[in-house]
Chain A
Amino acid sequence: MAKPKLKEHHIHRDWCKGCGICVHYCPKSVLELDENDKVCAVRPEDCICCRLCEYRCPDLAIEIETE
């Protein structure tokens, strides 16, 4: 099976509480918290679509869309 290719990180900024779990567990350091403590994908090109951020997000605020 071909490796999934990232289309987009859908981030629900209103739902994100900035706990940093996704940032901490991202194996490729794709995510960071911005100045408002909301998650954003700063290096989307490095994303391997493992979805660990999506699965561990307590706020249901991240969704990985693949092609």
Chain B
Amino acid sequence: MAIKDYIRERFFPHLWCPGCGHGIVLNALLRAVERMGLKKNDIVMVSGIGCSSRISGYVDFHTLHTLHGRALAFATGVKLGHPELNILVPMGDGDALAIGGNHFIHAARRNIDLTAIVMNNRIYGMTGGQYSPLSGYGMLATTAPYQNIDHDFDVVALSTAAGASFVARSTTYHVQQLTDILEKAINHKGFSVVEVLSQCPTYFGRKNRLGSATDMMDQFKETTTPIGSKAKEKDPTLIERGVFVEKDIPEYCAEYDKVIERAMKKGA
């Protein structure tokens, strides 16, 4: 199937701004799904609130557009209700890590088989450019007019510490790597986190004088490097890309089947 077979064409053009990185994430995600040959009826996309979360309206899967920050909690119910389904949970950085931070770490801790995609554009775009938990120290936003004094999370370190069994990072510049990583993440049995650095030229870029969408994507190219590269040794400020964690540990739904088995044995 072509990737157009996976979208709801009647809602295009989509609502994202010109040059928004979220469309590139959608593009890469559809390619990953197409390459894997997944059936549309076997995929549920659960999203929260924000620019990123509107992605669920555009894909021709079972789609659940939920509440701000709560996508993973809804997704947990869907997964346990029907464990055979592939559940994709795209979230914004504020959605996943501010209002939804608690659900994020606990879904990771359970190692439930969900694919969490953190579309990190470092800003609350839908509400007009307020600082997010990933904006970073010294950055400007409508609610940080004198520079942000909040430090950002390292999504990879946070997810790893919380117990996610697959953790990766890529950017909207590195689309081929991004597609490969998304495919691995969906294939992975357990909680997968994929952080995607995504540009918001409209708010984050403009507020912080980072130039156009392509300027911002060029910065992703310049400020990131593959995991363990020589470049990273020379310049520790470079952000690493690639798969950081990929481990085979017991998955929650599989563990739950054992609970049922034990309970039934006891009850019998």
Give me the interface of A with B, judged by CB distance under 8 Å: 12, 14-21, 24-25, 52, 55-61, 63
Contacts and interface: CB of A to CB of B under 8 A. Distances in A.
Q: Which of A16, A17, A56 has the most CB of B within 10 A?
A: A56
A35 B28 CA distance: 29
Contacts of B17: 17
A34 to B, nearest CB: 15
B13 A57 contact: no
Interface in B167-198: 172-173, 175-176, 179
Given A60-B23, A60-B26, A20 B213 contact: yes
Contacts of B70: none
A55 B173 CA distance: 10
Interface string B124-156: 000000000000000000000000000000000
Contact of A60 (B18, B27, B176, B213): B27
A55 B18 contact: no
A56 B19 contact: no
What DSSP secondary structure best describes chain A's contact surface? loop
A15 B12 contact: yes
Interface of B: 2-4, 7, 12-14, 16-24, 26-28, 30-31, 172-173, 175-176, 179, 201, 212-214, 217
B212 A20 contact: yes
A56 B175 contact: yes
A59 B23 contact: yes
B17 to A, nearest CB: 8
Contacts of A52: 175
Contacts of A20: 19, 212-214
Contacts of B31: 55
7 contacts: A15-B12, A19-B213, A21-B19, A55-B179, A56-B172, A57-B24, A58-B27
Contacts of A21: 19, 24, 213-214, 217
Contact of A55 (B4, B7, B13, B27): B27
A60 B214 contact: no
Contact of B19 (A14, A17, A63): A17
